[in-house]
Structure 1
């Protein structure tokens, strides 16, 4: 007996409320942009600048104890991560402590760094501080620029790839859905003032990859059905394609969310922002695959008369 989260054959009308669902997506995007412009993002150390302290100790690193020791200093955004390396011996335990710049200065003051070191020595007398490095505003600005280029380049590459594999209408729909996912994710981070750092950029790129994967699966089934049902209305063919891939979509999203929710609850503060971004992205990405990408293709229309064979366009059989 196989577990089925949805029936083997479904006939849901996903486009019955297409104006409302697409309109809600547009409103959500506008609200996200307004919130972003009004409230801004809670940038982490990667984008604000600050100081990184490397620690080494004979004792095991206790991130919680380190954080509790530094908390009374009220230094704002402090990130503590343990460094793992197979070359480290059992008596070499390394951690990286990142402290945001204070009062718009380029780095944390020397007396503040000394206070941090004193607090940590009370937790672990064997601790040493082999290096202290600062990240200034110039480097932070370059990181922001590089992050924007990375997201923009990925969207451009996906636009080109979907056009090669399918039709230009499909590529417009797919990239619009990805913009929808990215803007809503940035909007929720701005509204909740969740720390936005390089890990969040990695999460955004992961969301883009996950969302386009789900979209392409439905697009591929749609292309097959457009050839199979040439005389059938485009809306009905799209609805059939979504229903035929519904089981796969629910299983993929559901199992992914199970792992993400476990990490969100048990993963700790260090990765919570990253995991929250991906969790949110899986939800909105699944939604946008149907209610944004497919709606745009439906509005633009697809010319099915220019397909003399079942090969789609001239690039349809290019190996992925």
Structure 2
């Protein structure tokens, strides 16, 4: 996945995505442990689904950010990240809420066989949305990008100015 994000976007975006996905997996495994749910093939399938959902969230987040980096070349990175997130937030919340509503029926009426799968997926949707905003984007803000051409490139040193 790091190679895909690195190829599709850039290294700093890939590092942000990988850190956020590791965050999602660790938190989801921690919740499964706290809830004392058995880690079975079903919960592993749910965990892989969470990884896929989370990666999709990161790609959407980074794609909007990349578009705005090209559009607003002189705007500070912090403001571009804020603008990008505000532009996609309503779509993101609608998608996550719809997924949780769809999973709620199976969560409450699916019985003990489906509970670990659906519980893991519901938690994964919540934590995947959270990590897109509060883990992946701050890593990009800390790493920094330069926007002197069409593609954003990582800064060479902390405090270096573009151009």
TM above 0.5, yes or no, is yes
Greater C-alpha radius of gyration: 1
Q: What value does the CA root-mean-square deviation take over the aligned residues?
A: 1.0
Between Structure 1 and Structure 2, the one with more helix by share is: 2
What residue in structure 2 maps to residue 183 of structure 1?
26
Distance 2:83 2:105 in 1: 34
Shift of 1:261: 1.3
Shift of 1:190: 1.1
Distance 2:68 2:32 in 1: 39
Between Structure 1 and Structure 2, the one with more strand by share is: 1
Alignment of 1:295-310 (within 5 A): 295-305=138-148, 307=149, 309=150
Identify the match of residue 97 of structure 2 among 239, 248, 254. 254
What residue in structure 1 maps to residue 70 of structure 2?
227
What residue in structure 1 maps to residue 124 of structure 2?
281
TM-score normalised by structure 1 residue count: 0.47
Q: Could you give the per-residue CA deviations for residues 60-113 of structure 1, whole angstroms, max 9, x where no partner exists?
A: xxxxxxxxxxxxxxxxxxxxxxxxxxxxxxxxxxxxxxxxxxxxxxxxxxxxxx
Runs of 4+ displaced beyond 3 Å: none
Shift of 1:267: 0.7
Q: Could you give the per-residue CA deviations for residues 192-240 of structure 1, whole angstroms, max 9, x where no partner exists?
A: 2111101111111100110111111111111011011101000000000
Shift of 1:289: 0.5
Distance 1:186 1:224 in 2: 34
Distance 1:269 1:192 in 2: 13
| Aligned residues between the structures | 152
Structure 1 segments unaligned to the other structure (5+ residues):
1-157, 314-320
